[in-house]
Amino acid sequence: MIRLMTQGDSNPESDPKAADTEPSGPVARHVVFSHGKESGPWGRKISALAEVARSEGYEAHSVDYRGLDDPRQRIARLAEFCKELAGDLVLVGSSLGGYVAVASASLLHARGIFLMAPALYMPGLPQLREGVLDCPATVVHGWRDNVVPFEHSLRFAKSYRAALHLLESDHNLHNQIRVIQYLFEYFLIALDLPALAFE
């Protein structure tokens, strides 16, 4: 909104106090990726989505969890990595990285999370606390996933009113990378839209 200066207004250029209160520039925006147990930090899906993140004005980062099988250690590594980042934070996780993203989102005050075949409600993983998520979420899962059943993502989406996209694919989702790029682009754009009020 443009406000015309009146005679009683101070000129920011001549008033050092006023200049100090001027906005210092746009807030930094970061997307942080968490890879799965059997993959690395810059696999096919993460590299493809990093392009989308950059095109939407985000800095793209990917945490290297190789050698860390314990999900708690991965959560600690993500927290350590993100404490150096100032500004808006979006978490993206694939498979075990999806579990890590969900478990960390509230702690890191994430603006949103985007999950691909997340390893949620799986035997051997620590149980997530009730109400663990307090930000918008989108989940993408393959109908033919024989590692993490798609029903787990359906359960999660119902619990947190998350957007859920079931695609004709398996656990790695590699044949749907172009579609996932479009879904991720829409997700990032939607984060900037005003929230709708529901009765």
Q: What CATH number should be reported for the domain holding residue 148? A: 3.40.50.1820
- Strands 112-116 and 163-167, how do they pair? unpaired
pLDDT at position 183, please? 98
Structural domain span for residue 128: 27-191
Q: Answer yes or no: is 51 within a domain.
A: yes
Q: How many domains does the chain have?
A: 1
Q: Answer yes or no: is 7 within a domain.
A: no
pLDDT at position 4, please? 38
- Cα 24 to chain centroid, rounded: 25
Q: Answer yes or no: is 16 within a domain.
A: no
How would you write the pLDDT of the chain (199 residues) with one tens digit per residue?
Answer: 333 343 444 444 444 444 444 445 678 999 999 999 988 999 999 999 999 999 999 999 999 999 999 999 999 999 999 998 999 999 999 999 999 999 999 999 999 999 999 999 999 999 998 889 999 999 999 999 999 999 999 999 999 999 999 999 999 999 999 999 999 999 999 999 886 544 4
Helix, strand, coil shares of the chain as percentages rounded to 5?
35, 15, 50
Q: Answer yes or no: is 107 within a domain.
A: yes
pLDDT at position 8, please? 43
Picking from 89, 91, 82, 87, the residue whose alpha carbon sits closest to that of residue 114 is 91
Q: Answer yes or no: is 62 within a domain.
A: yes
- Cα dihedral 98, 100, 104, 105 in deg (nearest 10): 0
- Cα dihedral 43, 119, 107, 64 in deg (nearest 10): -30
Beta bridge mates, 29: 88
Q: Answer yes or no: is 172 within a domain.
A: yes
Which DSSP helix (H) or strand (E) runs through 60? strand 59-63
pLDDT at position 38, please? 84
